Amino acid sequence: MLDTCRQHQISLNLKKCIFCVLCGIFLGHIVCKHGLLVDHAKITVIVDLLAPKTVRQLRMMLGHSGYYRNFIKEYAQITAPMEKLLKKDH
């Protein structure tokens, strides 16, 4: 786990660390031997968002989901239709 933290340039305070565990939670991410994973408790906020009805709500929704774009397969293709709605003439 410490090697994974080093690879992702995460600094740790050893006084606050818990050792001999397979996975640990750090800043909303699960750190384990498979790398960084998203904490499913954090994703439920995005899943439970209502469909946006205004441009402001659409921007907010894209902002919330954009944080997790590295963990969502084909994020750009999924959000492309929503991004088009943000253009001036749409």
Tell me the mean pLDDT in the region 23-51.
81
Say if CB 78 and CB 72 are below 8 A apart.
yes
Strand spans (E) along 1-90:
24-26, 29-32, 35-38
Distances in whole angstroms, Cα of residue 41 to Cα of each of 27, 71, 76: 12, 14, 23
- pLDDT score for 17: 76
pLDDT band at 40 (very low <50, low <70, confident <90, very high): confident
Q: Is the pTM of this model over 0.75?
A: no
Question: In this model, does residue 77 exceed pLDDT 90?
Answer: yes
The per-residue pLDDT of the chain, averaged, comes to 84
- pLDDT score for 4: 82
Question: In this model, does residue 26 exceed pLDDT 90?
Answer: no
